[in-house]
Structure 1
């Protein structure tokens, strides 16, 4: 993992500010969702990308009855009849 040399304090509500340079570099816009992971003693933030509930694909995702499904799996489902 690469150190950026940037240090931020957690405020009284538990928030931190991600510097604009990092947000630009990682293409994180206002209101984008981030996933939070714990890896041992580390907290990892990752830009959220919805994936298919069947195959895990993150490309060509559509919502069907509140679930994320890729078009390929959706076609397979409809061909089951």
Structure 2
């Protein structure tokens, strides 16, 4: 585990502000859901990855690619299937 050197206080209602640099580094944006885990005496926050199921195969994997600002999620197999299908389409502009 990496120490950031950042120390924050908990406010009256139990909130802790995540510093901007940390949010940017982890691609955490306003209203992003975070998962909360407890490991012995540690609290672990992780960006919730509910968009990890491939839209074509349904496969859930950390290797899936998230595209179009999270609107499209594809596994390697899903990308191959989509690529073949798109190759069959004649596009006229």
TM-score, reference length from structure 2:
0.58
- CA shift at 1:44, angstroms? 0.1
| Unmatched segments (≥5 aa) in structure 2 | 60-93
Quote the residue 2:48 is aligned against. 48
* Cα RMSD (Å): 1.8
Higher gyration radius (CA) = 2
- CA shift at 1:72, angstroms? 1.6
Distance 2:45 2:7 in 1: 15
| Unmatched segments (≥5 aa) in structure 1 | 52-57, 62-70, 75-81
Confirm whether residue 72 of structure 1 aligns to residue 66 of structure 2: no
Q: Which structure has the highest strand share of the two?
A: 1
Question: Which SS does the other structure have where 2:3 is aligned?
Answer: coil
- CA shift at 1:60, angstroms? 2.4
Write the deviation string for residues 26-53 of structure 1: whole angstroms up to 9, x where unpaired.
Answer: 00000000000001100000000116xx
Confirm whether residue 39 of structure 1 aligns to residue 39 of structure 2: yes
Distance 1:59 1:49 in 2: 9
Question: Which SS does the other structure have where 1:72 is aligned?
Answer: coil
